[in-house]
Amino acid sequence: MNRSESYWNRYESEANRFAAELLMPQQRIESLGRRVIDGCKAEHNAEKMPLTRFIDVMAAKFRVSNPAMEFRLRSVGIGI
C-alpha cells in the first residue's frame, strides 16, 4: 500500500464510522435491540436469540445491510 492509499483508507474509515453512528445511533440500537431480543425469546420460548437472526432483524429495522449492522454492533460492543 502506498502513502496515498493509506491516506484515503483513513478518511474512508472515518466516513464509514460517521455514517454508522448517524444511521444506527447507539441508544436506538440498545433500546430497540432489547425489545427485539425480548420479543424473540417470548415468541420462541427461548433463553437466547441467535446472533445471526438478531443481525437480520436489526438490519431490516434500520434499513441497512447485514454487514453494516454487524460492523455497528461490533463497534458498540454488542453480541460480537
* pLDDT(3) > 90: no
Per-residue pLDDT band at 6 (split at 50, 70, 90) = low
Q: What is the pLDDT of residues 8-46, one digit of tens each?
A: 788 888 888 899 999 999 999 999 999 999 999 999 999
Q: What is the pLDDT of residue 19?
A: 92
pLDDT of res. 34: 95
Question: Which set of grid coordinates corresponds to residue 13?
Answer: 474509515
Which of 78, 31, 22, 75 minimizes the C-alpha distance to 55?
78
What pLDDT, on the 0 to 100 scale, is given for residue 1? 46
Q: What is the pTM of this model?
A: 0.83
Coil, helix or strand for 26? helix
